[in-house]
Structure 1
Amino acid sequence: MADVTPFERLRAALADRTATVGVIGLGYVGLPLAVAVARRGLSTIGFDIDPAKEERIRAGRSYIDAVSSDELAGLVKADRLTATTAYDRLAECDVIVICVPTPLSRHRDPDLSYIESTGREIAARLRPGQLVVLESTTYPGTTREVLKPILEASGLVGGRDFFLGFSPEREDPGNASFETATIPKVVAGDGPEANELVAAFYGTVVEKVVPVSSPDVAEAVKITENVFRAVNIALVNELKLIYGAMGIDVWEVIEAAKTKPFGYMPFYPGPGLGGHCIPIDPFYLTWRSREFEISTRFIELAGEINTAMPNHVVDVLARALDERLKLALSAAKVLVIGLAYKKNVEDVRESPSFKLMSLLEARGARVSFHDPHVPEAPNTREHPEFAGRRSAPLTAESLRGFDAVLISTDHDAVDYGLLAGAKLVVDTRNAMARHGLSGANVVKA
């Protein structure tokens, strides 16, 4: 009887759910994925370099809204999910999923250092029959050209000894309609056997798998999704400026336009882009395109428009203070509403609120923030100066101490009726109008 191949062994382990899965990076993507995998009965090990995450998971205490502490504690107690900082445990895993950050450098070039260092950790422990899947968003070609050579430095050969794939994460923090298991999963493997294994693995975890022909295509899918949003947000941000100069409310225009049942999809302006994908991913494609001598003018223009929005908002605020209160911005006390990048979440990654606060303070304003979901500003790479700053209370008494309120994030938990009593409200989200509040002290930006 012929020996069973590594491919056949792993396929059988996935089919009978005896495979052990490792998830590297227990952030907003990795932890929900680890929970979804464990929920399906697969033994799951979460890996992270942060000991605090290991401790919280072992104690059954979630630090992400998308994962409830009750479910996390139940999975940990049932020995279906554990967490560790010890990479040596990768040898126990049949499937290894990489969910590490892919930021931009200060020059807006891709920073793949987390993928590369993680790949080296895996390569040092790689054994025949393992499936490695990258979920981190990146440019087309990364899985084959960057990760695969690192893994093959182990002496094992991809497609024969181990298997490699890519499946882009599609998390949307705060979206109550979808979670990891219910979002269709695009999958691809490096070769036909890897393709089958990647589809088999995710088929046990999510409701719908969408196979594509190669990791390059899967990487391009994710980039396309986020470029689509970035370009359309830039369009409405530009329309906001144009219509504003004409005395037309862009939010009213959008509400009327979206009644058309075909040929239109609503996007909304704001104070700038935030989150882990849209402000970053399009620049991965522009960087990659240079290698092929192709100019990405449309994408770069969208980036310029969106990046300029915080400056526009601060200019509107300064002008409103001067015209309505006869007060210079340099002498003003400003309360920024919302530190998170989007409503009803605690996620502050790439939040435009940090840029707004930095611009305001650079012009001499004294700035505080209020966010019901973020009690304290975390340390961030771009704005470490705000680390540890506490969310200010929002009361009628505290509001009297500010010259202006700047609505950057429209959390539902904010008392907008209370804000209506402020001396000046600059609203970047149309939140006041949506709550039926208006007045001479409310300015849209």
Structure 2
Amino acid sequence: MPADLAVIGLGHHGLPLAQAATAAGIDTIGYDTDPRPVAELAAGRSPVDGSLTTPEIRRMLSGGFRPTTNPAELGRVRTAVLCAPTSPGPDRTLDLTAVTDAARALAARLRPHTTVLLESPVPPGTTEGPLREVLEAGSGLRAGRDFHLAYSPGRLDPGSRTHGYAGTPKVIGGLTPACTESAAAFYGRLTDKVVRARGPREAETVKLLETNFRHVNIALVNEMAVLCHELGVDLWDVIRCAETKPFGFQAFRPGPGVGGHGVPVDTVGAHRPLRLVELAGQVNERMPQYVVQRAATLLNEHGKSARGARILLLGITYKPDLPDRQGSPADEIAARLMDLGAAVSYHDPHVADWRVRELPVPRADSLYEAAAHADLTVLLQHHRTYDLQGLSVKAQLLLDTRGATPTGAAHRL
């Protein structure tokens, strides 16, 4: 059955796009080579990362959304959006294998006049270089002449109640002006504002800048957290005051590490490395070790050793109120605490099972009882369900890595 849109890659980028398209009345299929997420979605179940809820998936299905593993479906659409995952390889450059595989599957069935869009994070030059080459070689068609080709950086704030798909502007860079306008016509059905970049390289670099901007600024406040602790300064009060400045400042807050799907890119192919981003990555990668150091010091100050200490970790996801653990620093923190001989347990209302180094981590059923029993409780993620005032009363010793507890109620990062 023909469809208006194929979303290729049903991960944290592809599913929200498919949701927005289905809600807008666009006949949408979702293609993925992995049969497991396709089967789960077809059964109306929420994905593991919690990017969409079960009721949302079911509304999509009732609206006509069709998940599939059949590549033949790709030859029957007017628009195809590649949302395949990319992640850093051994040399810290992005691995484009999944994007290339998705492009090959599409190219074999690509029809004239189709609009092909790429949303995956990629190095600048990918759309008009490797992607274009794969599509043209596999289809015998010419990009910009026989089909439209453009890049649009994925912009998602998972779990946000204020930044939905329609209210988030979409940046578009086409291979030709006609490609840009074709992409703009598609995204104009989903979002309130479309921003036209000069070309695909500029649009690709938008994603690079946005991701690195986040990591560099988090690194700055993480370094400030270490400094302020040494100086006896309340960093969270500093940030509260600083963010009243109406210009030249945007508030970022420290934490136990940087999670999420958007990874910093400090080198782009054979081009010069981004030294500031490289340094920011080193700062942020040290934060789990710093949290463990602070935990051991707190225990020592209260006459206890990390070896044999009962340590409860609260919130092990990378973002509050979501089950997604992509890039969460909790795994490294737990592993380091175990190396010190600590008995680690956890509580998280969104994660029913957790394994570190292939070993199961005991899950606390009763939060207050577990906190009262633990020698040290460490808040790694502030879920909405946590009553931190009550928790601070019950816990023997509480380390807050998020600055979420009332002033004086806990030891802050």
TM-score, length-normalised on structure 1?
A: 0.87
Cross-structure match for 2:383: 411
After TM superposition, give the deviation of residue 73 of structure 1 in Å. Answer: 2.5
Cross-structure match for 1:402: 374
Matched, 1:194 2:171: no
Cross-structure match for 1:431: 404
**SS, match of residue 432 in structure 1:** coil
Superposed, 1:30-429 pairs within 5 Å as 30-63=14-47, 65=50, 67-78=52-63, 80-154=64-138, 155-277=140-262, 280=263, 282-283=264-265, 286-288=266-268, 291-292=270-271, 294-324=272-302, 326-377=303-354, 385=358, 389=361, 391-416=363-388, 417-429=390-402
**SS, match of residue 351 in structure 2:** coil
Matched-pair contact (CA < 8 Å) for 1:90–1:125: yes
Q: 1:223 to 1:216 in 2, by over 3 A?
A: same
After TM superposition, give the deviation of residue 139 of structure 1 in Å. Answer: 1.6
Structure 1 residue runs of 5 or longer lacking an equivalent are 1-17
Q: 1:135-156 deviations in whole A, cap 9, x for unaligned?
A: 0112211112221111111222
**SS, match of residue 158 in structure 1:** coil
User: RMSD between aligned alpha carbons?
Assistant: 2.0
State the distance in 2 between where 1:195 and 1:395 align: 52
Matched-pair contact (CA < 8 Å) for 1:188–1:199: no
Matched-pair contact (CA < 8 Å) for 2:9–2:82: yes
Which amino acid in 1 is paired with 2:288?
P
Q: 1:50 to 1:33 in 2, by over 3 A?
A: same
After TM superposition, give the deviation of residue 70 of structure 1 in Å. Answer: 3.8
Identity of aligned residues (%): 40
Q: 1:364 to 1:109 in 2, by over 3 A?
A: farther
Which amino acid in 2 is paired with 1:125?
R
Q: 1:225 to 1:366 in 2, by over 3 A?
A: same
Q: How many residues align?
A: 409
Structure 2 residue runs of 5 or longer lacking an equivalent are none
State the distance in 2 between where 1:88 and 1:148 align: 21
**SS, match of residue 345 in structure 2:** strand
After TM superposition, give the deviation of residue 437 of structure 1 in Å. Answer: 5.7
**SS, match of residue 182 in structure 1:** coil
Q: 1:246-268 deviations in whole A, cap 9, x for unaligned?
A: 11111111111112222222111
Matched-pair contact (CA < 8 Å) for 2:50–2:324: no
Q: 1:362 to 1:301 in 2, by over 3 A?
A: same
Matched-pair contact (CA < 8 Å) for 1:420–1:437: no
Q: 1:163 to 1:303 in 2, by over 3 A?
A: same
State the distance in 2 between where 1:426 and 1:181 align: 39
After TM superposition, give the deviation of residue 108 of structure 1 in Å. Answer: 2.1
Matched-pair contact (CA < 8 Å) for 1:374–1:391: no
Which amino acid in 2 is paired with 1:157?
R
After TM superposition, give the deviation of residue 45 of structure 1 in Å. Answer: 0.2
Matched-pair contact (CA < 8 Å) for 2:267–2:273: no
Q: 1:293-341 deviations in whole A, cap 9, x for unaligned?
A: x3422111111111111111110101111111x2221221211111110
Which amino acid in 1 is paired with 2:253?
Y
**SS, match of residue 320 in structure 1:** helix
State the distance in 2 between where 1:178 and 1:256 align: 25
State the distance in 1 between where 2:136 and 2:343 align: 54
Matched-pair contact (CA < 8 Å) for 2:81–2:116: yes
State the distance in 2 between where 1:348 and 1:398 align: 22
Cross-structure match for 1:444: 412
State the distance in 2 between where 1:412 and 1:240 align: 23
State the distance in 1 between where 2:353 and 2:125 align: 39
